[in-house]
Amino acid sequence: MAGRPSTYATPAALKAALQAEARRLGFAAVGVAAAEPLFDLAALLRLRQERAMATPWEDPDPARRSDPASLLPGARSVVAVAMAYDPPRAAAQAGERAVPGDGDANGWRGPDPSRPDPARQDPDRSRRRPEPPGEVALRGYVAAAGRTRSYQHVMRRRLEALGRWLEAAVPGCRWAVQVDTGPLVDRAWAERAGIGWIGKNACVIVPGRGSWVFLGELVTDVALPPDQPLADACGDCDLCLRACPTGAFLGPRQLDPRRCVSFLSQKPGMLDPDERAALGQSLYGCDACQVVCPYNRGAGPGHPALRPAAFWGTGPADEPAPAGEGNAGTAGSEAASAGPDGTGDSPVAPDLVALLRMGRADFRRRYRSLTGAWRGRKTWQRNAVVALGNRGAAARAAVSVLAELLRADPRPDMRALAAWALGRIGGGAARQALAGVLEREADHRVRAAVREALARMGGDPGDPAGHAVRPVP
């Protein structure tokens, strides 16, 4: 054990105690991998870069992303963990249940094959987007992962507590943790450490939990016995590939992020017209390829620490915190269950009009504890405008707030996007709002967007009745 005395007789005993402590801290799965570079992963990352498929948030160095020494020089073991979060209601209502068995160490062998598969019974189901519960008008969609309390904060504190436990067991050992931000590829180490396999939707599937999990790592210079990777259990199922609303999968485990709704909802800057259409009603993320997965339909509730109690009013507080960290459950208690406009806003289906009226301080007060809020108010408001535009005439109740954005928002890109949305919503009030700003708008990009919107509606500012449109110079 890195040449140091341990309070445990053998490395295997230390590993067993470490795993027990990890579970006590709230992790649903924990495994160990040798901290050796993943050369195949580095080659794959280089190929993705060559094909312009890397995301803006990735470390650009494939060697760093595939070697634990980039996080901790002298690393010998990677302890990979998963923390479960609540599945969306669609998964909970799918009717599947986990059954006991002897297929793996957790006594779980997947969904009950005797029960019908809703997606196979209804092929069109696999192409449908997740919708906000209750089909509530003028509300957007936040994926299950995005509506949790900030998992980076919750998991990091628990991993650091696990590191302190290890340091007490092996005095003088070194360790470092990673949750979300860092060089290592979480999914690759989860797979190598045997806590799950990578499904065809490129998500890690943890036995008994499915892919409704967040991942993290504790890297240490203590040598621990490694676990064996799990066998791929997807078989010939391709429900996730067929469920993608934008066809973002090039093949099994080959995701083109440029076409993925989850990526588009987080992408910096403005979206082009094709990307806006693909985004649908999403404010953050997409659950389509996970909801249909048979292994996800048996997943139970997630960890209470990840539930944003502020939104539910009666949501549970965090479990007793690791030593010395206080109770994290109080972080969400400062906000009431009703939204800023008194509509009872929730992280599942935020009110789009209320969101567009929020200032920076209001947004931070309302959403700062959510995982999905890391992209900030501007990105959420951009997506809200896109969602309204994609609803077309059904969003005419939002014309006034879009008209105000078009008239007074200091951001030219948001004014142009508001013009696009008004053009898709249509109607006399939308045409009047567009015509009213054309002559005094100083930004040529916004003017072009206004003209295009008026052309789409079949009228121009000099012809409120909607007759033929003059050619746009």
Q: Just list the catalytic residues.
A: 180
d(CA 170, CA 338): 49
Tokens of 106: 């957790």
d(CA 360, CA 378): 9
CA nearest neighbour of 329 among 153, 209, 86, 85? 153
Residue with tokens 């860092």, as numbered in its chain: 182
Q: Name, in order, each residue with C-beta under 8 angstroms of 429's C-beta and a sequence gap of 6 or more.
A: 396, 399, 400, 403
Read out DSSP for 306-336?
A: GS-HHHHSSPPPPPSPPTTS--GGGGGTTS-
Tokens of 430: 């939308």
Which DSSP helix (H) or strand (E) runs through 98?
strand 98-100
Q: What are phi and psi of 73, to 5 degrees?
A: -55, 135
Q: Kindly report the CA angle at 237 between 231 and 240, in degrees rounded to 5?
A: 105
Residue with tokens 């509730």, as numbered in its chain: 301
d(CA 129, CA 137): 16
Mark 61-87 as b/e (b = at least 16 C-beta within 10 Å).
ebebbbbbbbbbeebbbbbbbbbbbbb
Q: CA distances (Å), 325 to each of 19, 146, 203, 302, 332, in order?
A: 21, 24, 31, 21, 16
DSSP state letter for 32: E
Do residues 386 and 279 lie in contact, with contact meaning Cβ atoms separated by under 8 Å? yes
